[in-house]
Structure 1
């Protein structure tokens, strides 16, 4: 009996892009989708919610402004931070630094949905 792959290197999945940041799926199951993000300086992920689950981000490098609501509320984030957007909580990010903002997102369950705000 073989088990699913359990070890992944984030750097194998990072996809810098000049337009919209690329959502690079590391692994996916019914329980969760794990995604690597590479956000260039000045790029952003628009504010959104997951109506049926949560999105947990672990910041590996860089810094930015993390959206907390639809009225422009935000907090500064940096390497080492873990952010949790529970069901229907608004979140997004703007890279305000000079270096790429790199993080891993875990959306659980995978069928959490996505709605722009």
Structure 2
């Protein structure tokens, strides 16, 4: 039997979509199991606080830094190399607090995790 030749390796750089408006959600792959997204935020740009009622969102920071919202007004500092995990229903979001772009990969699982805006 011949192995699948579908690509399983993706370059973050190919999915970075800088925007002077709202940060753009650049989808790498979407299945029933998960949604993989690359985010780019310029200094002071924000990914609004939100929740996924039925799934987990895992962020892996590629470059830059940000204030990461955890709900109830709590913010923590994220930097390149950090991994932030929001379990189902946990508030998360961020504002770029550094001098350069904040780039991260988000993996939401399952793909049907849902989305709702929330307070920081």
**TM bracket (short chain):** over 0.9
1:14 maps to 2:19: no
In 1, Cα distance between the equivalents of 2:33 and 2:5?
16
Distance in 1 of aligned mates of 2:5 and 2:109: 21
Deviations 1:13-63 (A, max 9, x none): 100000100000001111111000001001001100000000000000000
- Cα offset for 1:5? 2.3
Rg larger in 1 or in 2?
Answer: 2
Q: Unaligned regions of 5+ residues in structure 2, if any?
A: none
Structure 1 regions of 5+ residues with no counterpart?
Answer: none
Q: What corresponds to 2:89 in structure 1?
A: 88
Return the TM-score normalized by structure 2: 0.93
Equivalent residue for 1:33, pick from 32, 35, 41 = 35
Matches within 5 A, 1:91-106: 91-106=92-107
Q: Displaced runs of 4+ in structure 1, greater than 2 A?
A: 1-5
Q: Which of these residues, 21, 42, 45, is aligned with residue 43 of structure 1?
A: 45
TM-score by length of 1: 0.96
